[in-house]
Amino acid sequence: MSKSKLKQSRSRAKALLIDSEVSSEKLQDDITCKGCFKQFTNNRVPKILNCLHNLCSECINMSIELNNDKNKVLCPTCKNHSVGKDSETFRTHSYVQMLSDIAQCYQDQLSGSLKCIGCSNVAGLRCLTCNENYCQEHTDFHVRSRATSHHKVLSFKQILNAPLLVSTIKREEHCPSHKKKISEFFCFTCKEPICTVCALSNHKNCVYEELSIAVSALKEKFDNLKPTFNRKAYNLKKKTAQLDTGIKQIEGDFGHSMANVGDITDRIMRQLRQRESALNLQIEDHRKDGQGELRIHQSLVEDKIANLESGVDFVDTVFEYWSPLEVLTVENDIVRRLTELSAEPEEFGCDDLKPKAFDLPPDLETNVVGAINCLENNWVAKKE
């Protein structure tokens, strides 16, 4: 994403979070779609593309509709395509959806439109176990009740200021087939969570594992891949630094060459002065061409760095904030995408990109015509 678009995204998100105490840049960026720069809502559901970046459901459907090659969605962040017939093809990013919902509730609380589930008072707290909003009075009753005394209730501001609090709360995932049973296993054959009853009946011939063990195995896969990403990111950052040094060197050579041209034209006759402008233009083209080429390589390297870091950051977020069930549902996407990023060739070599200096011959003052021809011939030779 360009810097201008990123600033635009952040400024629009800041308008949504009107309390500066919870208006962090990371939070604003997390709950903002990079396609339309609007906050994720129930109508603009955050979806995970194949490249592991987020896009709202409306942008996905619009991209598929406008794309000549149907069933492809263009990611505005990394410009890669994801395949899907509509937004429902892609999994919902539950953590981002939770943050967006909390941010919207906080805005509604400040405007007085968010009501407690038990009365008409304004709600200011969320039970993260029940996922319901309460006023202070009903919150006190909720936490004193024997059945719900173990529930975790926080204010919206507390959650937005420290989303990590949510990840420390154990969320119970219920079995899709037996609503009152807790999912304790993950069936790799059917790709769904199951309870103990399912494991002993419908899934007894399937391959399944305890959720915690399955997640640990998946995390081990990622830990094995992570050093490769770190090494690649480190190498690409070194190349970026080399490219930046080359750009600055060309800038220095440009200034030196311009100074030499100015000194010579002050000592020689009008004929050479008439050529000065043309020489300056040639040097300017040399600078632009040299810096332009290096900037293109620098931009490509930075894009690769961003893709590697965003992939690692996404997986870190998955293991830190998602429930075991949510982690396992994206296992294939994570391993596939990280493997793709790890296998991408490092096609940028900096040894051959060293800039060439533009040196002027020392005997230009001896002959006006000879100096002009020498300048032109030397410039052409060095340019080639």
pLDDT by residue (tens digit) across 176-206? 888 888 888 999 998 888 999 999 998 989 9
Looking at the structure, do residues 302 and 181 belong to the same domain, yes or no? Answer: no
- Does pLDDT of 229 surpass 90? no
Looking at the structure, do residues 179 and 328 belong to the same domain, yes or no? Answer: no
Does residue 37 belong to any structural domain of this protein? Answer: yes
| Sign of the four-CA dihedral 172, 176, 182, 185 | negative
Choosing from 94, 119, 153, the residue where a domain stops is 94
Paired residues of 152 in beta bridges: none
In this structure, what token pair is assigned to residue 269?
């006759």
pLDDT of residue 49: 92
Does residue 201 belong to any structural domain of this protein? Answer: yes
Does residue 160 belong to any structural domain of this protein? Answer: no
Indicate the number of domains in the chain.
Answer: 3
Measured between alpha carbons, how far is residue 96 from residues 22, 29, 91, 153, 371 in Å? 16, 10, 12, 19, 67
Classify 183 as helix, strand or coil. Answer: coil
> How much is the average pLDDT of 119-123?
93
pLDDT by residue (tens digit) across 25-58? 788 888 899 999 999 988 899 999 999 899 999 9
CB 183 within 8 A of CB 193: yes
pLDDT of residue 3: 46
Measured between alpha carbons, how far is residue 236 from residues 75, 229, 233, 306, 340 in Å? 22, 10, 5, 10, 16
Q: Which residues contact 238 (CB under 8 A, 6 or more apart)?
A: none
CB 138 within 8 A of CB 117: yes
pLDDT of residue 359: 54
Looking at the structure, do residues 29 and 75 belong to the same domain, yes or no? Answer: yes
pLDDT by residue (tens digit) across 278-334? 667 777 877 787 777 788 888 888 888 888 888 888 888 878 878 888 878 878 887
User: Assign residue 131 a region: left if phi > 0, alpha if psi is -120 to 50, beta otherwise?
Assistant: left
> How high does pLDDT run on average in the chain?
79
Q: Residue 73 carries which side chain, given as an amino acid letter?
A: V
pLDDT of residue 206: 92
Does residue 136 belong to any structural domain of this protein? Answer: no
- Does pLDDT of 5 surpass 50? no
Longest dimension (CA), the chain: 102
Does residue 138 belong to any structural domain of this protein? Answer: no
Does residue 116 belong to any structural domain of this protein? Answer: no
Q: What is the secondary structure of 70-126 as a DSSP string?
A: TTEEE-TTT--EEE-SSGGGSPB-HHHHHHHHHHHHHHHHHHT-PBPSSSSSBP-EE
Give me the CATH number covering residue 70.
3.30.40.10
Does residue 80 belong to any structural domain of this protein? Answer: yes
Looking at the structure, do residues 226 and 355 belong to the same domain, yes or no? Answer: yes
pLDDT of residue 58: 93
Q: What is the CA radius of gyration of the chain?
A: 30
Looking at the structure, do residues 267 and 370 belong to the same domain, yes or no? Answer: yes
Does residue 236 belong to any structural domain of this protein? Answer: yes
- Distance (Å, whole) CA 374 – CA 187: 78
Looking at the structure, do residues 302 and 191 belong to the same domain, yes or no? Answer: no
Comparing 78-92, 125-139, 225-239, 357-371, which segment has the lowest mean pLDDT?
357-371
- Does pLDDT of 273 surpass 90? no
pLDDT of residue 169: 57
Looking at the structure, do residues 177 and 226 belong to the same domain, yes or no? Answer: no
pLDDT bucket at 165, cuts 50 / 70 / 90: low
Looking at the structure, do residues 199 and 332 belong to the same domain, yes or no? Answer: no
> How much is the average pLDDT of 76-98?
88
Give me the CATH number covering residue 202.
3.30.160
Looking at the structure, do residues 181 and 254 belong to the same domain, yes or no? Answer: no
pLDDT bucket at 133, cuts 50 / 70 / 90: very high
Choosing from 40, 66, 94, the residue where a domain stops is 94
- Distance (Å, whole) CA 34 – CA 44: 12
Looking at the structure, do residues 176 and 284 belong to the same domain, yes or no? Answer: no
Domain hosting 258: range is: 217-383
- Does pLDDT of 105 surpass 70? yes
Per DSSP, 133 falls in state E
Looking at the structure, do residues 186 and 311 belong to the same domain, yes or no? Answer: no
Choosing from 206, 232, 261, the residue where a domain stops is 206
- Distance (Å, whole) CA 231 – CA 115: 51
> How much is the average pLDDT of 341-353?
62
pLDDT of residue 136: 92
Looking at the structure, do residues 188 and 335 belong to the same domain, yes or no? Answer: no
